[in-house]
Amino acid sequence: MAVIKPFRGVGYNPRYISDIQPVVSQPYDRITDKLQQQYYDQSPYSIVRIIQGQAQAGDQPENPDGPNGYTRAKATYDQWLETGVLIRSDQPVLYAYEQTFFSGGQTYARLGLIAALELTNFADGVVLPHERTHNEPKQDRLRLLQTMQVNTEQILMLYPDPENRVNVLLRAAIADQEPAIDIVEMFEHDVQQRMWTITDPGVIQAIQAEMRPMRNLIIADGHHRYETGLTYRDLQRQAYPDAPANAAFNFMAVTLVSMNDPGLIILPTHREIRNFSATSPAAVLERAQPVFSVEPTRDLAACLDAVNAHPTGHTFGFYGGQAVGYHALTLNDESSIADLIPDERSHAWKSLSVSVLHSILLDQIVGVPREGIEDKSMIRYHRDAQQAVDSIDEGDGTMVFFVSATRMEQIRACAAQGEKMPQKSTDFYPKMISGLTLLPVSPDKRL
């Protein structure tokens, strides 16, 4: 069962922070050093100082007592609570969270439900992952969670609701309310972010009843944080074996979005190869020809058009610098995928455009060492295709591959079989901003 509960969230106190636009941010894993500094400069109360604080000389990240970014985050959080910058809700609430945005020439509105979701192991089949995780980000988030004992952000969770019945309940609950928050975040400045609180017991119970029988909820964004939440839960259960089922550490703050929400948009994530010179861009085109048809395209727009027009997603764009130009690489024989990717994987997994890209192009044709992909020393991921091109032209990268977006039905198929896609297989747009509400999960808290 998918057990959700309202919670007493911690948020910015409007008496002290009358405009929260300068203090919210992108999620921690999208914050570059440059963006981090921008957030720091924007406000002394930026949530970034908690979720992704700046490193300092003499930091000891592996020492629980610090000094490090985790202990500074805890001290900042405690100070803001004590001085009233942050305030905790006086009653448990659910939150409706709507993001309105423009994509592909059309306006969308994605509606989410922010709640505390009971953590369950993947083997239970209630929550399923769809992407691989790496140890370093999990260690980072676990240190922050153990130090603060607070869910500082929500993860994005998709749930099966073909008739969008939960959305109907949410829309009815907020129909006559002004949003508690209505802002535009600095980085994704074309996305309107609105949030409402839901306190009516009848509405909360109705939403809980709709969610309860659901299974196969899919983690969209936040795999590292979910696995970290499981680890933290297990550690707390060992330390407090008599804690009740409603102990807050058994739960995690999530934003739940219907898989059938009309505003659920998935963008592609392009791959820039860097710090790698063993295979030249011209050699890549030559090596690819036995397996792919290689056609030059006049510019980036034409290259992306070719990629997005292919019905199975097996056309890949390629740019190897101005001397090589743009090309479209299309897999010659769809039936050859099974032989080209000998891994013990399902046809659904092997057919993913990112699987073909990583297993055939990057691994077999370009020859990028797998450890260079795993530790991200030889790959950089881009939502913005032009940004990737600029990086090549500036000499920072060697080549870039453009890929089509993964479809929702592909995510379902892989997750249902327990198969995890390559990292960065999906980019759910827009990102959920941080700083709207936090969930305390210390051993003394109950839900």
pLDDT band at 135 (very low <50, low <70, confident <90, very high): confident
Question: What integer pLDDT is reported at residue 396 of this predicted model?
Answer: 96
Question: What integer pLDDT is reported at residue 416 of this predicted model?
Answer: 84
**Is the pLDDT at 261 greater than 90, yes or no?**
yes
Question: Across residues 250-271, what is the average pLDDT?
Answer: 97
**Is the pLDDT at 154 greater than 90, yes or no?**
yes
Question: Across residues 134-153, what is the average pLDDT?
Answer: 95
Q: How much of the chain exceeds pLDDT 90, in percent? A: 92
In angstroms, the CA 414 to CA 412 distance is 6
Question: Across residues 103-113, what is the average pLDDT?
Answer: 94
Question: What integer pLDDT is reported at residue 423 of this predicted model?
Answer: 83
pLDDT band at 384 (very low <50, low <70, confident <90, very high): very high
pLDDT band at 104 (very low <50, low <70, confident <90, very high): confident
For the CA atoms of the chain, what is the radius of gyration?
23
Residue whose structure tokens are 């000998």 = 342
Contact 327, 318 (CB under 8 A): yes
Least confident of 240-254, 257-271, 333-347: 333-347
pLDDT band at 391 (very low <50, low <70, confident <90, very high): very high
SS (H, E, C) 163-203: CCHHHHHHHHHHCCCCCCEEEECCCCCCCEEEEEEECCHHH
Question: What integer pLDDT is reported at residue 205 of this predicted model?
Answer: 98
Residue (of 212, 221, 210, 105) closest to 162 by Cα position: 210
Least confident of 36-45, 148-157, 328-337, 421-430: 421-430
Q: What is the pLDDT of residues 55-81, one digit of tens each?
A: 999 999 999 999 999 999 999 999 999
Average pLDDT, the chain: 96
**Is the pLDDT at 157 greater than 90, yes or no?**
yes
Domains of the chain from N-terminus onward:
4-265+430-440 (no CATH), 269-404 (3.30.1760)
CA atoms within 13 A on the CB side of 140: 14
Question: What integer pLDDT is reported at residue 304 of this predicted model?
Answer: 98
Question: Across residues 196-216, what is the average pLDDT?
Answer: 97
**Is the pLDDT at 415 greater than 90, yes or no?**
no
Largest CA distance in the chain: 67
Q: How much of the chain exceeds pLDDT 70, in percent? A: 100
Question: What integer pLDDT is reported at residue 131 of this predicted model?
Answer: 84
